[in-house]
Amino acid sequence: MATDNSVTLVGNVTRDPELRFTNTGQANVTFGLAVNRRWQNRQTQEWEEATSFFDIVCWREMAENVSETITRGARVMVAGRLEQRSWETQEGERRSKVEVVADEIGPSLRWATAQVTKNERRAPGEYGGRGGGRQSAPPPTPSPGGNGGGGAGGYGYDEEPF
């Protein structure tokens, strides 16, 4: 039995995308997305609202395009899949989180306009759009809040989970 793990979200970017490169030069970007839901309470007739927050992960050329295009506050559409990642903190505590690994990202044109510029195709392994050629940076380290890093049973941002 095949299962489909796909999600489409429309929301506002909560933090500027953070571009990093793996040891092999593969681009990776993460950013936050806030998705609001609004409904009318049938008993009180009052409008109520709830906000859900998601961590979005992008790889390769899309990661570089997102880092050059998307900023905090932008309204975007994200199509991707849910991935659960687990790691162990330096204190030996097990942590896990669910992220959205993006397949497509685009601006929401409901209340804004956008200008699209097509990039030239890059050769395999050719990353670093701003400087050209291949760039590398150290893999991300776990933050105090438990976001990022790798560890047993999970993956770090130095490789894409397949």
Q: Tell me the per-residue pLDDT of 113-122, one tens digit each, with 9 for 90 and over.
A: 888 888 777 6
Q: Is residue 35 part of a domain?
A: yes
Whether 85 is in a domain gets the answer: yes
Total-model pTM: 0.68
Q: Which of 151, 140, 138 is nearest to 91 (CA)?
A: 151
Token representation of residue 60: 């390769």
Given a cut of 50, is residue 17 above it in pLDDT?
A: yes
Q: Is residue 161 part of a domain?
A: no
Higher pLDDT, 152 or 110: 110
Domains contained in the chain, number: 1
Q: CA 142: distance to chain centroid?
A: 16
Tell me the C-alpha to C-alpha distance, in Å, between residue 57 and each of 18, 50, 81, 103, 160: 10, 23, 10, 9, 10
Please check whether residue 81 lies inside any domain of the structure: yes
Domain that holds residue 96: 1-153
Look at residue 159 and tell me if it is in a domain: no
Inform me whether the pLDDT recorded for 80 exceeds 70.
Answer: yes
Does residue 160 fall inside a structural domain? no
Closest CA to 20 of 135, 123, 98: 135
59 within a domain of the structure (yes/no): yes
- State the DSSP H helix or E strand holding residue 69, giving kind and residue range, or none if neither: helix 60-69
CATH number of residue 46's parent domain: 2.40.50.140
Tell me how far apart the terminal alpha carbons of the chain are, to the nearest angstrom.
19
Between CA 146 and CA 124 the distance in angstroms is 32
